[in-house]
Amino acid sequence: MGVEPWMVIASAGVAGFGLARHLTGVLARPFRPERARPAGSPAAGVRYAFTTGMMPWAKESTRIHLLAYLRGIVFHAGIAAGLIGLGLALWDPGLPSAFRLLLSAALGAGALAGWAGFAARFAEPGLRALSTPDDYVSVALVSLFLTAGALAWWDARWMDAFLLLGAATLVAIPFTKIRHCFYYFFSRYFFGLFYGRRGVLGGAHHE
């Protein structure tokens, strides 16, 4: 039995509904902005948080863990490609083979980065001590999704597996650690607001 497009669309609906619940949950909590006179620009801080502040050279931690950070970037770029691939698979616009190969390569690179991260969680004692079962399940699920995607855009016989794993990943977003993709925007926003307002980051002396 093949995977019907409505299954993926329904899963996207679950993801959307679940994230909407998270959004209403966050917005229901009080927002307590700092009332002190600003020493710098909150807007500049937020800009910094989402731009130069995310560059690999911007932080000591990412300079130390450059490979792990780049692995994360490739993994997340792969996820973006996976979601695009999932949408295109539903629509099936008859893409040129070069584009299919490109998508397959992006998904493959993401999958490799995902599995490497998965292995690192097992192999590195510090990371293993820090991990919850959710960390393994989520990374494995997304890596499987990307692996299937890489295969599906290479060979259409894998398309059902890709759609099924895509649907599962979408459902998992609001319920597992995958939802950090949603909270990322809040966290970086508050980070930028805090340090921009206090004149620490985002100002001329810093950049």
Partner 1 sequence: MSESVAIALQAFEKVLDRRLTAALEVCARCGICAESCHYYVSTPDPAHVPAARAEQVRAFYRRRHDPIGRVLPWLAGAKDLTEERLDALQETAFASCTLCRRCTINCPFGVDTALIMRAARGMLTAAGKAPEMLVMLADAAIARGENADEFREIYREIVSGLEQEAQARIGDPSLRIPLDKKGADILYVGLSGAHTILPAAIIFHEAQASWTLSMFEASNYGLFLGDPSKAKAIATRLVDEAVALGVKDVVLTECGHAYAALRWEAPTWFGGEFPFRVRNIEEVIAEYIQGGRLTLDPSANPESITYHDSCNLGRNGGLLEAPRIVLRAAVQDFRELTPHGTDSLCCGGGGGLVAVPEWEEIRMRAGRRKAEQVREAGVPVVATSCENCNLQLTDLNAYYKLGVRVVGLMELVVNALVKAKERQGLPLAEAA
Binding site for partner 1 (CB under 8 A): 22, 25-27, 29-37, 39-40, 49, 53-54, 59-62, 64-65, 68-69, 72, 124-127, 129-135, 137, 175-177, 179-180, 183-184, 186-188, 190-192, 194-195, 198-201, 205-206
Residue pair 39/199 in contact by the 8 Å Cβ criterion: yes
Q: Smaller CB distance to partner 1: residue 33 or 87?
A: 33
Q: Smaller CB distance to partner 1: residue 113 or 163?
A: 113
CB of 103 to partner 1, least distance (A): 25
Cα–Cα distance, 111 to 109 (Å, whole number): 5
Cα–Cα distance, 205 to 154 (Å, whole number): 49
| Interaxial angle between packed helices 42-50 and 180-197, expressed in degrees from 0 to 180 and rounded to the nearest 10 | 140
CB of 153 to partner 1, least distance (A): 27
Lookup: tokens for 47: 């800009």
Q: Residues 26, 179, 172, 176: is their CA dihedral positive or negative? A: negative
CB of 168 to partner 1, least distance (A): 15
Q: Smaller CB distance to partner 1: residue 101 or 119?
A: 119
3-state secondary structure at position 115: helix
Q: Smaller CB distance to partner 1: residue 9 or 39?
A: 39
CB of 89 to partner 1, least distance (A): 27
CB of 145 to partner 1, least distance (A): 17
Q: Smaller CB distance to partner 1: residue 100 or 177?
A: 177
Cα–Cα distance, 81 to 100 (Å, whole number): 11
Q: Smaller CB distance to partner 1: residue 97 or 132?
A: 132
The DSSP code for 200 is S
CB of 136 to partner 1, least distance (A): 10
3-state secondary structure at position 160: helix
Cα–Cα distance, 77 to 98 (Å, whole number): 19
Task: List, in sequence order, the alpha helices (H) in the chain.
Answer: 5-28, 42-50, 60-64, 66-91, 97-123, 125-130, 133-152, 159-172, 180-197
